[in-house]
Amino acid sequence: MKKHVLIVSALLLASGALAQQKKTITVGVFPDLDSVVKAALPGFYKTHPNIEVKINSLAYADHHNALTTALATGNGANDVEAIDFGYVAKFAEGGGLVDLSKAPYNAAQYRNRFVAYTFPQAMTQDGRMVAMPTDIGPGSMFYRTDFLKKAGVQPTELNRSWDSYIAAGRKIVAANPGTFLIPDASEVATIIIRTGLKSGEGLYFDQAGKVLVGPDNPRFVRAFTVAKQIRDAKLDARAGAAFSSDWTTAFQKGNLASEVSGAWLVGHMQNWLAKDFAGKWAAQQLPGNSYTSYGGSFYGIPSQSKNKAEAWELIKYLTTDPSQQILAFKTTGAFPALRAAQTAPLFNEGVPYLAGQKARVLWRQAANQIKPIDVNRLDPVAEQIVSDSLSAVLDGSKTVEQALGEAQRLIQRRAR
């Protein structure tokens, strides 16, 4: 009897100790990144048996809104928060997210292991690092091989320069009635604005916060002029933003000869956007030696988290473990930010949708060519104003000079 009591109490003690050690942390995430975290958990539990992970997945916008509210009120954030590239600058302000460059995290030691432009995206102007990169979207041009063939156009003519892109586009559209070179002319302007930046220059502001947009900045003048040429030549479908109704329909009907986007677009194309045109699309680099990124995801730790050590363990696992990054790529096609993961044999295989083309090699090259861009708190404001003035140029209501002059004044007004 005594023996039994001893065993039972020993068991009780042991289970009590175990329960005490096991910590539950929560991860706030959005689709499809939630499936990446889900896929990672079995591997994570093997090395971290004492951490239990709960996934709180919300729709893309809801997730970021909830995070804003949690940071504003200092309450309700998850221990690990996924942050999309577009929101990083916004969340970097204030002390809402912990500085990962400091001890005990010392994230800077991993810097060289990541694609060069990813770390600066998550750094604030005063040198804090608010999130770790996990996936990236190297820019790529997709084009329809059958349309090009019919027009007798070589793929290199499309990407040699922007001028040759437009010239080739005229031939393609003429030879294939009812098609468009590109969904929207403004996409071209977006790329040109993002390329050829001087070191230390942001997209719209320099390091000192001075507004760069204006009629005297060649980068913007060229971006607006080229976009206007495409619009005037009636080469674009005027579909507006990506994933708009016209954009989607144009893809589904097979009316587009080319599109510039992140490498991740292939996943959408094969799953729903252009299912019927498998094997007819191919990829190459963006025109005129442009290398730019389309989005990317990050993980940060809110200052209010009570399980920062465990949260950091999970983030490290998700971002710095090559096998996990490869698993993520297999799960959703999210291109790894970790360089070691990009050398996996998988990346030398052909992409079935692109007729077996070894496009991942291209994307890897592009990823390593992309230059870091300084971010500014007012980037969203400037981006909106520039996009408004571009649309005024495209529909002919303002000249390039007028539009850029006005944009400059409007941005300066806001940079108070």
Provide the binding-site residues for other proteins, judged by CB under 8 A: 65, 67-69, 71-74, 90-91, 93-96, 237-238, 240-241, 244-246, 249-250, 253, 255, 377-378, 380-381, 384, 387-388, 391-392, 395, 397, 410, 413-414, 416
- Nearest approach in angstroms of CB 236 to other proteins is 11
Q: Between the CA of residue 334 and those of 35, 75, 234, what are the distances in Å?
A: 11, 31, 34
- Nearest approach in angstroms of CB 193 to other proteins is 16
In the bound state with other proteins, the residue whose beta carbon lies nearer, of 93 and 216, is 93
- Nearest approach in angstroms of CB 273 to other proteins is 15
In the bound state with other proteins, the residue whose beta carbon lies nearer, of 87 and 335, is 87
In the bound state with other proteins, the residue whose beta carbon lies nearer, of 256 and 354, is 256
C-alpha closest to that of 226 among 366, 408, 400, 382? 400
In the bound state with other proteins, the residue whose beta carbon lies nearer, of 35 and 387, is 387
The answer for residues whose C-beta is within 8 angstroms of residue 17's C-beta and 6 or more apart is none
Q: Is the dihedral of CA 285, 288, 294, 296 positive or negative?
A: positive
Q: How far apart are CA 389 and CA 205, in angstroms?
A: 17
Find the radius of gyration of the CA atoms of the chain.
Answer: 24
- Nearest approach in angstroms of CB 285 to other proteins is 28
Q: How far apart are CA 112 and CA 99, in angstroms?
A: 18
Q: Spell out where 314-367 has E strands.
A: 335-336
C-alpha closest to that of 60 among 83, 41, 92? 83
Q: How far apart are CA 109 and CA 241, in angstroms?
A: 38
Q: For the packed helices 379-394 and 85-92, what is the interaxial angle rounded to 10 degrees?
A: 140
Q: Is the dihedral of CA 155, 161, 162, 168 positive or negative?
A: negative
In the bound state with other proteins, the residue whose beta carbon lies nearer, of 233 and 392, is 392
- Nearest approach in angstroms of CB 379 to other proteins is 10
Our measurement of the distance from residue 112's CA atom to the centroid of its chain's CA atoms, rounded to an integer in Å, reads: 20
Cβ-in-10-Å burial (0-12, 13-18, 19+) of 198 comes to exposed
In the bound state with other proteins, the residue whose beta carbon lies nearer, of 8 and 59, is 59
- Nearest approach in angstroms of CB 415 to other proteins is 12
- Nearest approach in angstroms of CB 326 to other proteins is 33
In the bound state with other proteins, the residue whose beta carbon lies nearer, of 304 and 357, is 304
In the bound state with other proteins, the residue whose beta carbon lies nearer, of 91 and 353, is 91
Alpha helix positions (H), 57-154: 60-73, 85-92, 118-121, 145-151
- Nearest approach in angstroms of CB 82 to other proteins is 15
